[in-house]
Amino acid sequence: MEGPPETPRSVPAPSHRALGIILLLAGVALIGFAFYPIFATDSVNRSVEAAPVTDPVELAARRRDVVGTYSTGSQPGDRVIVVLGSGTARFYEIGARGAINDTTENYRIARHDGQLCLATSAGGAVDVKDADTLVYWRDLYQRSP
């Protein structure tokens, strides 16, 4: 014996409130996706693959040549790099009352893409352009007297 045929259950239609929330979330996601490339920036501390200079004679000569103080200028807002022979470098900004944003990092003499550099412990690189010029994030630092 067969019973009466089952009546199909109707699926309830989504409420207007649920549909509104779904559309709102989709709109926010679309706006975020559209604006992300505009506001995304590269990290200042991006890592650079640098091969250390291993020849002891070249290493000693390069370290001796690079030791000194380099700056973008002498006014507040200009930046300074002090390279010490001990393998440390000091980075700071000239403020109205002295150094601000003062940090010290270890470095090693290295090369990346054939360019001589100071590879910092944070993974950055200060390029050695010539005997009196360093380049750090496209800014030129001239040797100070």
> For the chain, which residues make up each domain, given as ranges?
51-143
Q: What is the pLDDT of residue 105?
A: 95
Q: 116: which 2 tokens?
A: 């001589």
Output the pLDDT for position 25.
87
Buried b (16+ CB within 10 A) or exposed e, 121-136: eeebbbbbeeeeebbb
CA distance 81 to 94: 11
pLDDT at 69 (0 to 100): 97
pLDDT value at residue 11: 64
- Which helix (H) or strand (E) covers residue 51, if one does? strand 51-52
Model confidence pLDDT, tens digit, residues 7-37? 667 666 667 788 888 888 888 888 888 877 7
The per-residue pLDDT for 123 is 84
All residue ranges of the chain with pLDDT < 50 are: 45
CA distances 108 to 60, 69, 125, 140, Å, are 11, 17, 10, 20
pLDDT of residue 8: 66
- State the pLDDT at residue 54: 94
Q: Give the CATH class of 51-143.
A: mainly beta
- H/E stretch holding 10: none
Asked if 124 and 48 count as a contact pair (C-beta separation under 8 A), the reply is yes
Instruction: Name the pTM for this structure.
Output: 0.68
Nearest-CA neighbor of 45 among 111, 145, 107, 136? 136
